[in-house]
Amino acid sequence: MSSDTFTHSRALIGRHLRHLTRTPQQLMSITLMPVVFVLVFGYLFGSAIDVPGGQKYQEYIMAGIFIQVVMSNLGLTALGVVGDLDNGLMDRFRSLPISRAAVLIGRTTNDLILVAWSFVLMSGIGFLIGWRVHNDFLSVLGGFGLLLLLGLATSWLGALLGLALRSAEAVNAIGAIIVMPMSFLSNAFIPLDGLPGWMQSVAEWNPVSAVVLACRKLFGNAGGSTGDSFPMQHPIPMALVLTVALLALVVPLTVRAYEKAASKK
Amino acid sequence: METAISAEGLRKRYAEHEVLRGIDLAVGAGEVLGLLGPNGAGKTTIVRILATLLPPDAGKVTVAGYDLAREPKEIRRRIGLTGQYAAVDAVLTGRENLRLIGVLLGLGKRKARARADELLEQFDLADAADRPSRSYSGGMRRRLDLAASLVATPSVLFLDEPTTGLDVTSRQLLWQMVRQQVDSGVSVLLTTQYLEEADQLADRLVVLDKGTLIAEGTPEELKRKVGGERLEVSVATAAELPAVVKAVADASADPPRWTRRPVASPSRWSAAWTPSPRSRPS
Ligand SMILES: Nc1ncnc2c1ncn2[C@@H]1O[C@H](COP(=O)(O)OP(=O)(O)OP(=O)(O)O)[C@@H](O)[C@H]1O
Ligand SMILES: [Mg+2]
């Protein structure tokens, strides 16, 4: 990234953070939603789900709950992009002599900061309901690093979706079609060996599954039964590889879509 | 730089719909060219192409001396764009909007600040500078938008219907501000639906209809051709319009064409008549 792109992205992050401090609804949603996630998934389902390996349910489930915030980042970014298309700012930015990626880097980085903020809150609430990590600091940090990297990928995917669909309704509909299978066709909440064969393979190669399992390992939380597919045997490197592959696929497509972005008006 | 903008054989189509059917136009350095045309004529499409936002299907274009296809970034350094709908961040204040653009243009924080202050003063926005722009009136938002397109001190300025929807006072204030830019040597491509606006600002006019240029000349020449007077009447309620329309029609020799639109206050309407060009010998 050139130093200009860095300066521009930083200025745009400043813009987004101002939005955050001035629109209480937005601040509330990124603050309350994660807290509610932890309480709902951590407590309510606790009695209903059998924890593999006899460990505490709250320890098993936290990685899956972090993933929910990572996935919801897709919608956050997509709706932000649609907003900028609607009010014409995207045209304004595109008519400036700035790098093609700066606007997208600014928004996705900002949204990632919000995800990190949610993680901090969730970890606190998680601690209160009994979540503990049983590993060294660096490993735990590595786990959050993988979650953030996947959050970056979902954010760019969201930007692509926003640029392609150009409407909030369409984003909500199509976004759900992408997010639901990605988060639920994974090991976030359920052990995969209960699934029919082909579905199990899909779920095991889902980057979300690799990230969840890698996090459980890095946090020292129970992994549950994992199956013997390659990603499940090597979750940490595979989480990295699958997420980076997703980014490598989505980022160039998104930059191209930005170049051609046309507001609807 | 002798010509600010030159376009030859500009074409654009969307699926079956041919929006631009071979447009040739040129704007000289320091000149104001008015692009006049009704809704859907293709005005915005031309502006978006020339401002590097939309690739044309065919045509050779240079803006500020640079080739559109080869050096769009050089063009972006030298143009200002005020689109048909004000493109400002509603949550940010006027000052923050202008500073953001300044930093994005690479002025650096200090210069961006100074430039923002200067423009706010110049566009009569100093008092509202620290309010979120969503609280601005339509006229103020338009002025902020124009200011935003001038942060870089561009040499070529695109104005897409800059005063549509503004009341008479705001309109005149904006015209005055555009004139200041012209006096300082900026070349302008202005689109408008109002002959009056073109008359006020433009040195030369082209008339666009359904993607084709159908007339060209100075405002005087075109007015002579069209013949027309233009009469604008405001009424308190829409219900009074039919009676007013009939009265004017009865009093004129040729059947006038008229359009109606809401004016500043929501309960008021105005009707504008222009004589039909076909009904007069040219
Ligand atoms: N993205 C698009 N897809 C399909 N058709 C389009 C698109 N953009 C513009 N058009 C069509 O191109 C034609 C010209 O549009 P344009 O916006 O250039 O007109 P205009 O002269 O600016 O009109 P107005 O005075 O209403 O702003 C219209 O018929 C419009 O429907
Ligand atoms: Mg238009």
Q: Is the Cβ atom of B48 under 6 angstroms away from ligand 1?
A: no
Which bound ligand lies closest to the C-alpha atom of B42?
1
Over range B105-113, report the average pLDDT: 95
Q: Which residues of B touch A18 (CB under 8 A)?
A: 91-92, 96
Closest CA to A68 of A80, A76, A56: A76
Q: Looking at ligand 1, which atom is closest to the CA of residue A264?
A: 1
Structure-token match 């996947």, residue found = A150
Which bound ligand lies closest to the C-alpha atom of A265?
1
Q: Which residues pair with B187 in a beta bridge?
A: B156
Q: Do A265 and B52 touch (CB under 8 A)?
A: no
The pLDDT of residue A264 is above 60: no
Q: Is the Cβ atom of B39 under 6 angstroms away from ligand 1?
A: yes
Q: Do A4 and B106 touch (CB under 8 A)?
A: yes
CA distances from A29 to A10, A18, A33, A109, A111 (A): 23, 16, 5, 18, 13
Closest CA to A38 of A6, A10, A66, A11: A66
CB contact B247 to A (< 8 Å): no
When scoring B14, B53, B111, B135 by the number of chain A Cβ atoms within 10 A, the one with the most, hence best to mutate, is B53
Q: Which residues of B touch A4 (CB under 8 A)?
A: 106
At residue B227, what is the residue type? G
Global ipTM: 0.89
Q: In the prediction, which pLDDT does B266 show? A: 47
For CA atoms A14, A20, A21, A27, the dihedral sign is negative
Over range A52-69, report the average pLDDT: 82
Nearest CA to ligand 1 atom 9: B45
The span from the first CA to the last CA of chain A, in angstroms, equals 32
Which bound ligand lies closest to the C-alpha atom of B209?
1
Q: In the prediction, which pLDDT does A51 show? A: 63
Mean pLDDT of all residues in chain A? 90
Over range A173-198, report the average pLDDT: 89
Q: Percent helix, strand, coil in chain B (nearest 5)? A: 35, 30, 35
Q: Looking at ligand 1, which atom is closest to the CA of residue B37?
A: 21
When CB atoms are compared, the residue of B48, B81, B104 closest to A98 is B104
∠ CA B126-B130-B136, nearest 5°, is: 80
The pLDDT of residue B87 is above 70: yes
From B19, B82, B163, B192, mutation site for ligand 1 pocket: most ligand atoms within 8 A of C-beta: B19
Q: Do B83 and A18 touch (CB under 8 A)?
A: no
Q: In the prediction, which pLDDT does B264 show? A: 58
Q: Are strands B204-209 and B212-217 parallel, antiparallel or unpaired?
A: antiparallel
Q: Do A92 and B83 touch (CB under 8 A)?
A: yes
Three-state DSSP state, B21:
strand
The pLDDT of residue B282 is above 50: no
Instruction: Return the percentage of chain B with pLDDT > 70, whole number.
Output: 85
Q: Do A18 and B73 touch (CB under 8 A)?
A: no
Helix intervals (H) in A40-166:
57-86, 89-94, 102-128, 137-165
Burial class (CB in 10 A: 0-12, 13-18, 19+), B239: exposed
Q: Is the Cβ atom of B3 under 6 angstroms away from ligand 1?
A: no
Encode pLDDT of B34-45 as tens digits: 999 999 999 999
By mean pLDDT, which of A52-56, A257-261, B218-222 is the weakest? A52-56
pLDDT band of residue B21 (cuts 50, 70, 90) is very high
Encode pLDDT of A73-103 as tens digits: 999 999 999 999 999 999 999 999 998 899 9
When CB atoms are compared, the residue of B76, B85, B91 closest to A22 is B91
The CA B42 to ligand 1 mean position distance, Å, reads 6
Gap between the Cα atoms of A218 and B42, Å rounded: 59
At residue B226, what is the residue type? V
For CA atoms B131, B132, B138, B142, the dihedral sign is positive
When CB atoms are compared, the residue of A7, A22, A92 closest to B87 is A92
At residue B115, what is the residue type? R
- Crossing angle between the packed helical segments A207-219 and A137-165, to the nearest 10 degrees: 160
Contacts A–B by Cβ distance under 8 A: 72
Segment 97-116 of chain B within 8 Å of chain A by CB: 100-101, 103-106
Q: Which residues of A touch B48 (CB under 8 A)?
A: 91, 262
Instruction: Return the percentage of chain B with pLDDT > 90, whole number.
Output: 68
When scoring A19, A84, A90, A91 by the number of chain B Cβ atoms within 10 A, the one with the most, hence best to mutate, is A91
Encode pLDDT of B171-229 as tens digits: 998 999 999 999 999 999 999 988 889 999 999 999 999 999 999 998 888 877 765 55
Domain residues of chain A, as ranges?
Answer: 3-263
* Cβ-Cβ contacts under 8 Å for B209 (sequence gap 6 or more): B37, B38, B41
Q: Which residues of A touch B86 (CB under 8 A)?
A: 88
Q: Which residues pair with B259 in a beta bridge?
A: B272
